[in-house]
Amino acid sequence: MNFLRSSIIIFVSIISIQAQAVASPESNLELKSPQQLTLYNGAPLEGYARGRVDENGLVFVVPLTVGEAEYTYDARQIKSLRFTDEVNIEQIESLLSLERRDDALALIEQIYLPRAAYLDLLSEQDRKTLCELVPLARHAGDPYLAVGMARRLLMAVEGEAHTSALRDQILLAYLDLPLPDETRKLAQAWIAREPHYGPSALGWVVLAQLEIEVGNWQAALDIALEPIVFSSQYPMEYLHDAYDMAILAAETLGDTPQAEALTDELEARGLPTPEDRKAGHAHE
């Protein structure tokens, strides 16, 4: 591993910085708000992250009265890097609810792209906040961005809950794209990984959706019934979607008793019916 020098002050020339840094495309974005860099052995610095060098290096520029100072730090010296601009999730959700997708997308990119190169240096809380942007990017109509964000965040976040949620978003984004063959493989991998009675039905729901899209209603019904059968009263995400699909498939196949039994059970189990979710999203 390449240990970089600690706190080596190099110079004031922007040109020399750019020559040294191996920056990602995102790192070339202009950072309007300053960032706060906290090192394990010192007080916070306020300045601007200007890219990454080698694998673990951060180039950080601190404005001086005249010119600026450029620092290069090894990631292991850094306690946290905090961006000072506001991350307003509610604002994005509000824009989406108003169908202002382009504006929402712009806001997502405005938040995510400057941070993208520094995900490993952000606090866990900040990374979790960024995770919340992934489904919003999908809703804003950019599943590619959602996949990219989720894949990068997967390398940075910790905790099963978050990694699992990100994998789910990747699967949903593939479904949105649409890339049916790849989605099918991902869904099958998801199913192989997740236990019965687990916290989510997503893999089954996505697979059933793929079958519905090609008119294979019998397979869709059989697949959608899996999480329904192997669920208890403990919460399972996307379970109501599985019910919706199974009911639709049963109706399409002319199996009215099956469709009615599932509809009754959906209500008896207190799961949200399609009417309850009119304003909601299909796969959230």
Q: Name the residues that contact other proteins, by CB under 8 A.
A: 196-197, 221-222, 225-226, 228-234, 257-258, 261, 264-265, 268-270
> How many whole angstroms separate alpha carbon 140 and alpha carbon 124?
25
Between 112 and 190, CB nearer to other proteins: 190
To the nearest whole angstrom, how small is the minimum distance from the Cβ of residue 221 to other proteins? 7
Rg (CA), the chain: 23
To the nearest whole angstrom, how small is the minimum distance from the Cβ of residue 212 to other proteins? 16
Contact between 225 and 211 (Cβ < 8 Å): no
Between 264 and 284, CB nearer to other proteins: 264
To the nearest whole angstrom, how small is the minimum distance from the Cβ of residue 187 to other proteins? 18
Between 185 and 269, CB nearer to other proteins: 269
Tokens of 61: 């520029």
To the nearest whole angstrom, how small is the minimum distance from the Cβ of residue 268 to other proteins? 6
The continuous run of DSSP H or E covering 46 comes out as strand 45-53
For 105-158, give the DSSP string.
HHHHHHHHHHHHTTGGGS-HHHHHHHHTHHHHHHHTT-HHHHHHHHHHHHHH--
Between 93 and 222, CB nearer to other proteins: 222
To the nearest whole angstrom, how small is the minimum distance from the Cβ of residue 251 to other proteins? 14
Between 169 and 200, CB nearer to other proteins: 200
Contact between 137 and 145 (Cβ < 8 Å): yes
